[in-house]
Structure 1
Amino acid sequence: MNAAPRLAMVAGEVSGDLLAGLLLGGLRQRWPALSAKGIGGPRMAQHGFEAWWPCEKLAVRGYVEVLRHYREIVGIRRQLRERLLTDRPDLFIGVDAPDFNLDLEAGLKASGIRTVHFVCPSVWAWRASRLQKIRRSVDHMLCIFPFEPDLLAREGIASTYVGHPLASVIPQVPDQAAARRALGLPGQAEVLAVLPGSRASEVQYLADVFFAAARRVQQARPGLHVVVPAVPALRPAIGQAARRAGIDAGLHIVEGRSHEALAACDVTLIASGTATLEAALFKRPMVIAYRMHAISWHIMRRQALQPWVGLPNILLRDMAVPELLQGQANPGRLASALLEWFESPDRIAAVQEKFSALHHELRRDTAQLATDAIQQVLSPA
């Protein structure tokens, strides 16, 4: 088994696919002949992963939004569980996507299949009730933030801090000039990166507002270029939103390449989520925003345990960058917050210093630490 473990994996969206791809790279160094199958995306496929369903099938956020896709998602989980119980893997690894993965892991673990979950659900931010479900579902948790193992240990949940894999991939000092050349952006112009999310529901709620704000910034700062990394399937919708806002000159929509866009920009307007941590690792000042269906917002707000939503602010335990959520995320307020960054070089330098310290804290040999932990689960002493 240890010579060529058979793994099943589920990554639920673009960010999960990225993390799972990094993890698979480390696992394959330890076990070149391993097999991995399940739900994933192109980054996982680069490491030989066989996707039975694409990760985009699970890329839905919010209560009301999930209800629209509930039957399809539950159907996929049922089919996957049946398939894995029939042809049992040596280990199941769920990568993020806790709403999908924890229920699946609970059933697999109860049937004797060992389970590992990569990326601890943010029980420290909201929905602390998930701790009981994690204990039932997961043999071992791979944690990307240093304070998580102590919290899990108090609940009897085995875990390992492995660092954040992106902290080793993203350079401590990004090469802005090289990123601009790669994207065809002028070397000396001001650049705003607009990231309205990788889910269709996020683009639906955020794209028009983001581009209306970007247009106001462009009017206030002539010559500003706007770079927008887009998931290929969402590129038409993003282009239409940009045109509705009147952005034409200086607009650069690129497929994927979010890391190059963050390296190239001066400031970013960004949807709350994993991408905000990526922006912090690139040392980019940002305005974090999010909007969703009103009912979903009401439910999530009631379950919040901290005053921050964006990962950089949560990890720094400080409102280091602005967060404008739901009704506050309107074009006027977003544009004003963005312009404050462009007009405050001292403030930018201060937040970049904080982001640099955070980068050092999160940087570990994630692939090796995670692989060591997974080997212990596969072959406990």
Structure 2
Amino acid sequence: MLPAPRLALVAGEASGDLLAGLMMGGLRARWPALQAQGIGGPRMAEHGFEAWWPHEKLAVRGYVEVLRHYREIAGIRRQLGERLLAERPDVFIGVDAPDFNLGLEEKLRAAGIKSVHFVCPSIWAWRGKRIEKIRRAADHVLCLFPFEPALLQKHGIAASYVGHPLADAIPLEVPRAQARATLQLAPDDTVVALLPGSRRSEVQYIAPSLYAAAAELQRRRPGLRFVLPVVPGLRTMVDAAAAPYAGQVEVTLVEGRSHEVLAACDVTLIASGTATLEAALFKRPMVITYNMHWLSWQMMKRMGYLPWVGLPNILCEDFVVPELLQHHATPAALADATLAWLDQPARCRAVEQRFLELHHRLRCNTAQAATDAIAKILQA
């Protein structure tokens, strides 16, 4: 067996921290004395990760939003790169966050430090020219989706399909009754989950529209229950979004626990991102939405290749669930789409079956597969 390696990791937001934390369970099982340091969050810390900076520092999305934080983020990357070049870990693993990680990986790889990129950038959906940067940056790419390795290998990039760790972590059969009991929801409550995203910029732009939609739904159907899992550290922003709707709608806020909320709900209004895949793995009907600074939206929409933005729709290659984005995400439209799910139980059962099939496709013990791939890189 190889001696315990020294790894450096960067996970740039809550979803990356979740993915890296799940992967680190496999790494720690193989190498109990593993050393892992860099940028990460609480899920990684549970496995002994030492965070030099918290992952929230990189949790920014949208061109305008990134520009506002550019100096701080660039400074962190420069300091991190200098420290890693001095300490020379056995392998650097960049977890998603390609705008931050690929440039750092390229610099480290040029200096002889092996680099792995975990989560193939969505070159099949947008920014396809990024493939050249991936080729320069990564010795190996760990792919979440089965079609990605062949795409990368066509361009001379070594890659492995490791499945999605969330598919391993989330049970095939949803523990709905248990989740409802934990959240103090009655078995016969009709529950709408509101998930406005995990980044500050997402909560800023999306939480107000979700509250407006919830108020509209409450007006049309007074018996509904609303639950919103709050990302740690963002409670103040959520409270600010809720303030204009005081007296119009009651939303139960819970700290974290998004998986319990998704397991318990009947339908979710949810920001596009990794959370939509989590909702699909919990077999939940959903309405995907997104909103950002208008200039960021104009720039991003011109670079898309696919008719879908939500991961469940991309993976199913179909509009399995509705997407209401930017100016289409009005309170009335979001409420209409949500009630359509609640009023069509046969449609809900059909989408649950589609998501169960997707769950089986993505489940292949990611922690073990990723650990095996990293062990081979260490031995090379």
Instruction: State the TM-score, normalizing by the size of structure 1.
Output: 0.98
**How many Å separate the matches in 1 of 2:97 and 2:237?**
25
Task: Tell me, yes or no, if the aligned pair for 1:117 and 1:138 is still in contact at 8 Å.
Answer: yes
SS of the equivalent of 1:38 reads strand
Mapped pair 1:59 → 2:64: no
Deviations 1:69-127 (A, max 9, x none): 00000000000000000111000000010000000000000000000011101000000
Q: Percent identity?
A: 65
- Partner of residue 116, structure 1: 116
- Partner of residue 157, structure 2: 157
SS of the equivalent of 1:4 reads coil
Task: Tell me, yes or no, if the aligned pair for 2:214 and 2:249 is still in contact at 8 Å.
Answer: no
Deviations 1:113-147 (A, max 9, x none): 00001110100000001100000000000000000
Instruction: Give the superposition deviation at 1:216.
Output: 1.1
**How many Å separate the matches in 1 of 2:9 and 2:244?**
40
Instruction: State the TM-score, normalizing by the size of structure 2.
Output: 0.98
- Partner of residue 98, structure 1: 98
Task: Tell me, yes or no, if the aligned pair for 1:208 and 1:245 is still in contact at 8 Å.
Answer: no
Task: Tell me, yes or no, if the aligned pair for 2:167 and 2:362 is still in contact at 8 Å.
Answer: yes
AA paired with 1:359? H
- Partner of residue 5, structure 2: 5
For structure 2, the 5+ residue unaligned runs are none
Mapped pair 1:14 → 2:1: no
AA paired with 2:372? D
AA paired with 1:195? L
Mapped pair 1:186 → 2:182: no
- Partner of residue 300, structure 1: 300
Task: Tell me, yes or no, if the aligned pair for 2:215 and 2:249 is still in contact at 8 Å.
Answer: no
- Partner of residue 169, structure 2: 169
SS of the equivalent of 1:233 reads coil
Instruction: Give the superposition deviation at 1:242.
Output: 2.3
- Partner of residue 283, structure 2: 283
AA paired with 2:19? L
For structure 1, the 5+ residue unaligned runs are none
Deviations 1:48-69 (A, max 9, x none): 0000000000000010110000
Aligned length: 380
AA paired with 1:262? L
**How many Å separate the matches in 2 of 1:19 and 1:247?**
38
- Partner of residue 244, structure 2: 244
- Partner of residue 370, structure 1: 370
State the 4+ residue runs in structure 1 displaced beyond 6 angstroms: none
Task: Tell me, yes or no, if the aligned pair for 1:242 and 1:248 is still in contact at 8 Å.
Answer: no
Task: Tell me, yes or no, if the aligned pair for 1:211 and 1:247 is still in contact at 8 Å.
Answer: no
AA paired with 1:22? L
1:296-335 mapped onto 2 (5 Å cutoff): 296-335=296-335
Task: Tell me, yes or no, if the aligned pair for 1:239 and 1:253 is still in contact at 8 Å.
Answer: no
- Partner of residue 134, structure 1: 134
Task: Tell me, yes or no, if the aligned pair for 1:153 and 1:159 is still in contact at 8 Å.
Answer: yes
Instruction: Give the superposition deviation at 1:250.
Output: 4.6
- Partner of residue 77, structure 2: 77
SS of the equivalent of 2:10 reads strand
AA paired with 1:200? R
SS of the equivalent of 1:135 reads helix
* Superposed CA RMSD: 1.1
SS of the equivalent of 1:21 reads helix
SS of the equivalent of 2:51 reads strand
